[in-house]
A and B are shown apart, each in its own frame.
Chain A
């Protein structure tokens, strides 16, 4: 187990190194002249030359990257083109709002996805099953901005059940979180449905039934725990798509998180901020996958790490 954990950790670090290299390319290599962008329009050639020297843009490529990496390790994500502040400070002030919505959103995603999947599997091949699967298809085929605008119109403007965007109370977080939950639940409900159906056909389930256990007990004690294991790595795999949705939902609902920050940066072509948010999201994704991979062998004793 220790070897597995160490190897998995080393791999995560390697991926993060790769991530830093790509963000470096996006920040300094692909844009036409980052020093001019940072200096602003009215800057003198001397100022630009100064900034270029400060950023190390006159150094050879590998030294530049090394310096960028050292800065990253100290939490320095560069400076915003527009706001003239550290990107890390901008991101830091937004992290908590985004994490809240992330946790609530994934919570709803799992709640909706798992319960619909279980329901569909138990009512397999009925009209309800087909209806739920059609619902999951529509969910995964809908862009977040359309669903967000539609739900805002329906539930906030028309029915006035929820506030029209904003931040602060539980009341504010519900509609954006449910929007994220509904759209993301499709893959989970389809996966839980098929793994439930598979689990229902296992021998030990038949044994449990013939022992005289009630249907409810068999389903909740024996079928569900088995069917739910693949959900854990799925959260890791899905989180990249989820964060994409988060960016859009935040900008439509006016949620003061990283997504809204990215959206504002897009409107002003503030590349360091966009890349900073991308970098932080990549770290979250790598960590989520690491946690998921370490969690699965703990909850599923059938997985033998020594053999693999």
Chain B
């Protein structure tokens, strides 16, 4: 199935088509942020605050209003998309890489190596991911890349477990045994047979994982150990304005909606991908 056919199939569901639209829009916004954003995201406008120094609600100059420092919210949200996507891709990429490496090694070698690796995932599962991430971020002093690394360090576990059981399932299939008896090298079995069969699972988890990553980054930034201001992130926009949220609700509502929309979109696309790619689910609903 080519990529185009896959996308066509996914778009049969209106919700998935909409999700893909959201994802493409966010990617577009973050790639061309400097052209789309009406203002510099860090510029503090004198006319961006009321006489009393309060943020402005949405108006014709500042389409989505301004924040506590008189900066344009729309521009900050557009640049914030960059942060979300960079972290989503980097953090999730590393998590998938570690998870696949651990899962495949454990599932392929089994024995004591596999045992030790899988017990390590049990140990990681004993920690609440958010608290472990908070502790790590607080110790390592947060920056964009540290946050991505911290998220990767807590998010690889799920992937490792799924890939592990999948690797075991595939390794026990007959064609692998046939390859072995025909004298295929371990490398050949790994790269020409095992990994291609794991690809759909990896794709599904890569998509679902971005959703978790977006949520975790937003939460860390909201708690103050994520991406540090003035670099805008949807989470730290809410962090900066939380004390004002009863009087300036747009400062929470707009970034909040974006976080939920993006996370939901990746979840829906991931779920649809699983239905489409996972042969074991065919015929069920």
Contacts and interface: CB of A to CB of B under 8 A. Distances in A.
Contacts of A157: 246
B157 to A, nearest CB: 10
B264 A138 contact: yes
B125 A263 contact: no
Interface in A262-277: 262-263, 266-267, 269, 271, 274-275, 277
A282 B127 contact: yes
A278 B128 contact: yes
Interface string B258-285: 0110011001100100000000000001
A243 interface: yes
A170 to B, nearest CB: 24
A15 B123 contact: yes
Chain B interface, DSSP helix/strand/loop, else mixed: helix
A26 B131 contact: no
Given A143-B219, A244-B130, A282-B126, A30 B264 contact: no
Among B139, B246, B260, find the residue whose CB has the most chain A CB atoms closer than 10 A.
B139
Interface centre among B130, B246, B267 (most CB of A within 10 A): B130
Contacts, number: 136
A277 B131 contact: yes
A277 B268 CA distance: 34
A30 B126 CA distance: 20
A150 B255 CA distance: 12
A140 interface: yes
Given A157-B246, A247-B130, A266-B223, A146 B138 contact: no
Contacts of A31: 139
B122 to A, nearest CB: 6
Contact of A26 (B135, B252, B285): B135
A19 B219 contact: no
Interface residues of B, number: 43
Contacts of B256: 146, 149-150
Contacts of B104: none
A146 B123 contact: no
Judged by DSSP, the binding face of A is helix
B281 to A, nearest CB: 11
Centre residue among B15, B135, B139, B285 by max chain A CB count within 10 A: B135
Interface in A244-264: 244-245, 247-248, 251, 262-263
Per CB-CB distance, the 7 closest pairs between chain A and chain B, nearest first, are: A244-B130, A141-B264, A146-B256, A18-B123, A141-B263, A243-B128, A278-B131
Interface of B: 15, 119, 122-123, 125-132, 134-136, 138-140, 211, 215, 218-219, 222-225, 235, 238, 242, 245-246, 249, 252-253, 256, 259-260, 263-264, 267-268, 271, 285
Interface of A: 14-16, 18-19, 22, 26, 30-31, 124-125, 134, 137-138, 140-146, 149-150, 153, 157, 197, 237, 240-241, 243-245, 247-248, 251, 262-263, 266-267, 269, 271, 274-275, 277-278, 281-282, 285-286, 289
5 contacts: A26-B136, A145-B238, A146-B259, A241-B129, A282-B128
